[in-house]
Amino acid sequence: MKSSLVTNFPNGFTNGVTIAGVPIQQAHPGEVFFVNGSSVKKTGVSSGSDSTGAGTYNKPFATIDYAIGRCTASRGDIIMVMPGHTETVAAASGIDLDVAGVAIFGMGTGSLRPTINFTATASTLTQAAANTSIKNILCTGGIDAVVSPIIMSAADCVIEDCETRDVTGQMTDGIVTTAAATRFRILNHTHNGATAAGTNAGIAIVGGSGGEITIKRMDGNFAVGGVDIRTTATTDLFVHDVKYFRNRNASDIFLVDTITASTGQVGPDVFIRLATDAANITEAVTGATLVVQDPVYVVNAANEKGLLINWTASTDAIV
């Protein structure tokens, strides 16, 4: 009773390697499963159920984690989460993406995007298997001080076009990567944080190498920084195309390397807004072993325009 890509999408997609931008490992993926907890459904479509559902469009599963458990590693399976689906996560690894190569794709836009609501401080969605991807999912903090709702802990994982959003209180950190998250990619990310204090970072990086971050919008009261490299140095990090970043905390930092041994590049096309009109243009990116590629603009007061970050420029040494 499993559904195939051709069955559910009779017009094809089998000649390409993406569906609406979802990274698929092979041109002819294995299975496509549907998850639907919405009350708005097409006539004849059953309510989502993990006990009686078949994972098809007409008989979808009720939860993402159950659908993950029906997937086969490295086959290129896809989980389509339908518009209006809402799911509560109340435990650590409440959603455990532990099957390699699985892509989770949220359908819908705005408030109709599938929503994962974290209702315990330790609750998490964990990318524990390599080559997994998550696209177009809204993750909300339904309780104050959710420690780290999303954890990336495997190689070659992707989070794309997703949003972390404070609803009740503040998340401590939005996304946390581990040393095992080699070559992670967080692309076109949005973090809409509360204006009140309580958040350390939108994205926290612990070790690993070859990570890449692009940001559509990141706004919050970040006591440490929007992007915080902590505990273990990372190597070859690439942070670029940050269209809108705002820190409402007087820390006035976009990216900080608290290890002071990490390597990588910040820029080009990074636009930073800080909280106070202080001498903080240089300090908005803090990391002695990183490099900056312009343009990286920083503005720190109303009625002003951004200034290129004034790190020391390279010189052409004559030998």
Q: What confidence score (pLDDT) does residue 1 get?
A: 40
Q: Of 1, 113, 105, 90, give the one whose Cα is nearest residue 46.
A: 1
Q: Is the pTM of this model over 0.85?
A: yes
Element (H, E) at 64: helix 64-69
Q: What confidence score (pLDDT) does residue 5 get?
A: 40
Q: What confidence score (pLDDT) does residue 298 get?
A: 97
The single residue listed with the structure tokens 């990216």 is 255
Q: What confidence score (pLDDT) does residue 73 get?
A: 97
Domain spans of the chain?
A: 1-148, 170-311
Residues pairing with 184 in the sheet: none
Kindly state the tokens that stand for 150. Answer: 């999303």
Model pLDDT for residues 207-259, shown as the tens digit of each residue: 999 999 999 999 999 999 999 999 999 999 999 999 999 999 999 999 999 99
Cα–Cα distance, 109 to 250 (Å, whole number): 34
Using 50 as the pLDDT threshold, list the residues of the chain that sit under it: 1-17, 25-26
Cα–Cα distance, 262 to 275 (Å, whole number): 26
